[in-house]
Chain A
Amino acid sequence: MTIEMKIDGPETVNRTDDMAQGVLGRDSARPDGLAKATGRATYAAEAHPEGMLHGVLRRAPGIGAVRCPNLEAVRAMPGVRAVLRDARMVRNAAQGMADEAPVQGVDEAAYVGQPIALVVAETFEQARHAAQRLEVAIERTDLPIDPDAVEPEVPEAKQSSQGDLDAAMRNAALTIDADYTTSSMNSAAMEPHAAVAEWDGTTLTLRGALQMLRFNRNELADSVGLSAEHVRILAPYVGGGFGSKLGISADCVAAALAAMELGQPVRVVQHRRNVFEVNTRRSETRQRIRLAADADGRLIGLGHEALVSNLPEETFAEPVVQASHFAYPGAARTLGIRIARIHRPAAGSVRAPGEAVGVTASEVAMDELAYAAGVDPVELRLRNIPEEDPERGVPFSSHRLKAALLDGAERFGWSGRPMAPRQRREGEWWIGTGMAAAFRVNMVVEAQARIRLHGAGAVVETDMTDIGTGSYAIFQQVAAELLGLPLAQTEVRLGDTALPPGSGSGGSVGAASTGTAVWLAAMELRRQIAARLGCDEAELTLKDGTATAGNTRQDLADILSGAELTGTGHVKPGDAAEKVRQATYGAHFAEVAVNDVTGEVRMRRMQGTFSAGRILNRRTARSQCHGGMIWGIGMALTETMTHDRRDGHVVNRDLAEYHVPVNADVPPLDVHLLEERDPWAGPMQAKGIGELGICGAAGAILNAIHHACGARLRDFPATPDRVLAALE
């Protein structure tokens, strides 16, 4: 039996808090932790089916028509079994939730690095060598690669305007009007994209590094020309995604095509340098932010207009202004996204698409406004908390920005901070502090999950993935809480499209959406148990494997008496999102040291306070927030994909040249999670937290740099050359 639920309105009953097991919300270990720590967790490339061949992708070294003049000679090389130049190979990874094949083809390279052939050989070394030998001749086409050099598309649906912002800017006591830029960035998950494909003549089985299996199955089926029921994808462990594994990728499709052609299993692993090109990057942005405020710093108008880029035919446009629609008040508002169609590698979702760059820039603008008004930056935010959604006029489902700001300020020791910059110096170093607010939209995605309950415990099943986010831990806790089972008796099976389709991991939706499906499946089982006892579900107390109803108490195993019960949960988004504005909130505080001689910035400490509804597992939630804040350090100080000015190729396409934060870049971090219940977030009253930690974090750091040394940087990242130039 299935319980279906559409999220249409507030949950008033809050059954979750009635449960007795006491495991949900706890700081509890990952059930998959020991397998990961001992090397037993197996990722996509780690299957070794009998007769497996090895495929290596060959990339286009330029933009234009592609020929491989020595293809036959490469085919004859030792061990080589095939050189595939199949028109079904994909240009770049599919966008998140595309549900269909991305742009395909190998005859025209739309960007430098596009995979244009797969060389398959008996060993990896033979395949790599042969792929390097494959000559690729490009008949070069001059296509635009600079986002500032083309006339951008201005999609009507992405523009909005209320009131007269120009008039507000003319009449305001205080105004800020500045351009901010953020860099092209890469997810750079630790596990390179990889696939092992097997074809038995009927069914294609693919072990992949993918985030959203129910969409990926359709994308793969559509790419290779199979019906979805003949495709099965397995991804029980995924070595990080951050958006780059949302859609089916080049390795998966090429491996599948090769396996189908050769009748043998084929493995394709993207080299790290492919990872930087053939999956989706975060678009660079140019953002004009206008703030119009009264003399006290209260906003009367707000403009946020962004230029982003993508390849032709890609539907995704970095939604830079997503949070600006509701973050701050102001009757006059102009928001919009323009898209430059250029031939850099495809852009797509990277951790917190939109807010990661949009909130970060607008929080620097808010800091500038605080200084223009002579108002403490925390106080300025407190003065600008809207009472309802400033554009749609609907209420907030819950709004904890004020609480987060006050909590963070208290823990960080913000009070007494001198407002003026350049107040503290230690040798060559200027020391300063800065802050930013965090905003992130919250979404629900359709999801299903099944629980099988038997005498020895429960098994939760869904095709949902755990990309490090904690799905295994959280679903175990949800099921154990509702079914009154110890965690050890609750098993979670994920990452197999043969299981009920979950939400997939992305957009911070996983824990709350698929978690709600697990919750509903467990509720269905509670009803079945109650029916067996002849009582109402609400009278049932389940704890430690026993059921209590009225004056009777029985072991669950006895109630089941050998039977296996099955419950399924199915959650869908309803019209709640139209009735209220739902988001998550937080506050970042940072202390930095800026070297007066070299322009180097070192982090001293960071504090983050976040509110995202019920926290399902404090340990995994805290780790997600750490991750987001550290991504903020990367965005603020080091991360930038450099595109060659002639052909747009990624110059720094490996981990030695693209600088993600390392251990020594990270100062002590303090994360505090607020208690919150958002009744509009379904029966668990929980929202997503995986992306909130990055939103605004880099803004707090740039604001701290300003406070330290007086240099106002508006271009991310604040590399030493930029800091030094601003210091002089």
Chain B
Amino acid sequence: MAVTITVNGQDHTLDLDPRVTLLDALRDHLHLTGSKKGCDHGQCGACTVLLNGRRVNSCLCLAVMHDGDEVTTIEGLAEGGPSPLQEAFVAHDGMQCGYCTPGQICSATAMLDEVAAGWPSHVSASLDCPVELTHDELAERMSGNLCRCSCYPGINAAITEVARRGKTEATE
């Protein structure tokens, strides 16, 4: 089946077996291997990409269902230089083996937008108050991304720093 997907700002028309997941389309057909396959089951978050700006597990998406959609991968976030989150993950050692890292960073990128938009989480005090990115809020919102090296302290420090910086810039 033919499908056209915009990946990192570039249109790609692919002729795909309908069984091909979005993740495999990225990794095996476009050779964008930054998105990782950890479980192929939507259980680990390593395959997280931004689909029309929102985070999804790309292993749970069939590629042919995304004709006309816009996908941003970890490679896309680094276009024009590494993003603040990518730099902060290095600075705070938010990684060890690095295999979950692209998913963590894509997830965190969208998560900060969700917080800015005031989306509540399971641990939010109310459904309509502005969200403050406390340790509990951050940990809850990032718990779909497993890290077996267990770099959560570094991951959280990196995200917190970028969130704080973003907030400062927004008020300036």
Contact = CB atoms under 8 A, between A and B. Distances in A.
B40 A626 contact: no
Nearest to A628: B150
B143 A662 contact: yes
Contacts of B36: 43, 190-191, 239
Contacts of A125: 17, 19-20, 24
Nearest to B79: A38
A464 to B, nearest CB: 15
B58 interface: no
A723 B74 CA distance: 42
A619 B41 CA distance: 33
B70 to A, nearest CB: 18
Contacts of B77: 38
A499 interface: no
A247 interface: no
Contacts of A230: none
A46 interface: yes
Nearest to A269: B37
A240 B97 contact: yes
Interface residues of A, number: 63
Given A239-B99, A467-B97, A37 B148 contact: no
B82 to A, nearest CB: 6
Contact of B27 (A46, A129, A620): A46
Contacts of A34: 82, 86-87, 90
A189 B37 CA distance: 12
A353 to B, nearest CB: 17
Contact of A39 (B74, B87, B145): B74
Contacts of A272: 38-41, 43-44
Contact of B146 (A33, A124, A660, A669): A660
A33 B97 contact: no
B150 A39 contact: no
Contact of A664 (B40, B89, B140, B150): B140
Contact of B28 (A48, A620, A655): A48
A33 B153 contact: no
Interface string B81-102: 0100011011101011111111
Q: Is the interface of B mostly helix, strand, loop or mixed?
A: loop
Nearest to A33: B90
A271 B96 contact: no
Main SS at interface, chain A: loop
Contacts of A271: 40
B32 A623 contact: no
Task: Identify which of B17, B44, B140 gathers the most chain A CB atoms within 10 Å of its CB.
Answer: B44
B61 interface: no
A664 B139 contact: yes
B152 A630 contact: yes
Contacts of B82: 34, 37-38
Contact of A37 (B32, B105, B143, B145): B105
Nearest to A38: B78
B56 to A, nearest CB: 17
Contacts of B46: 190
B33 interface: yes
Contacts of B73: 39
B22 to A, nearest CB: 13
Contacts, number: 186
B98 A661 contact: no
A629 to B, nearest CB: 8
B135 interface: yes
A392 interface: no
B147 interface: yes
A123 B38 CA distance: 19
Q: Contact residue range for chain B?
A: 35 or more
A654 B90 contact: no
A238 interface: yes
A40 B90 CA distance: 14
A40 B154 CA distance: 20
B161 to A, nearest CB: 14
A608 B28 CA distance: 43
B156 to A, nearest CB: 7
Contacts of B105: 37
A661 B150 contact: yes
Interface in A90-129: 123-126, 129
Contacts of A22: none
B74 A242 contact: no
Interface in A151-171: none
B93 A619 contact: yes
A41 B32 CA distance: 11
Interface in B148-164: 148-156
Interface string A469-484: 1100000000000000
A242 B75 contact: no
A237 interface: yes
A240 B150 contact: no
B142 interface: yes
A655 B78 contact: no
B93 A39 contact: no
A631 interface: yes
Contact of A192 (B20, B38, B136): B38
Given A190-B44, A468-B149, A664-B143, 17 more contacts: A30-B93, A33-B89, A33-B95, A33-B98, A37-B105, A38-B75, A123-B17, A239-B97, A468-B98, A626-B153, A626-B154, A655-B38, A655-B44, A655-B146, A664-B136, A666-B152, A668-B135
21 contacts: A29-B91, A33-B93, A36-B98, A36-B101, A37-B101, A39-B32, A48-B31, A189-B97, A190-B46, A190-B99, A191-B97, A237-B98, A240-B99, A623-B96, A624-B96, A627-B149, A629-B150, A662-B144, A663-B139, A663-B147, A664-B136
Cβ-closest 10 pairs across A and B: A39-B34, A239-B99, A36-B98, A468-B97, A468-B96, A630-B150, A33-B90, A39-B74, A46-B33, A38-B78
Interface of A: 29-30, 32-43, 45-46, 48, 123-126, 129, 187-192, 237-242, 269, 271-272, 467-470, 619-620, 622-624, 626-627, 629-631, 654-656, 660-666, 668-669
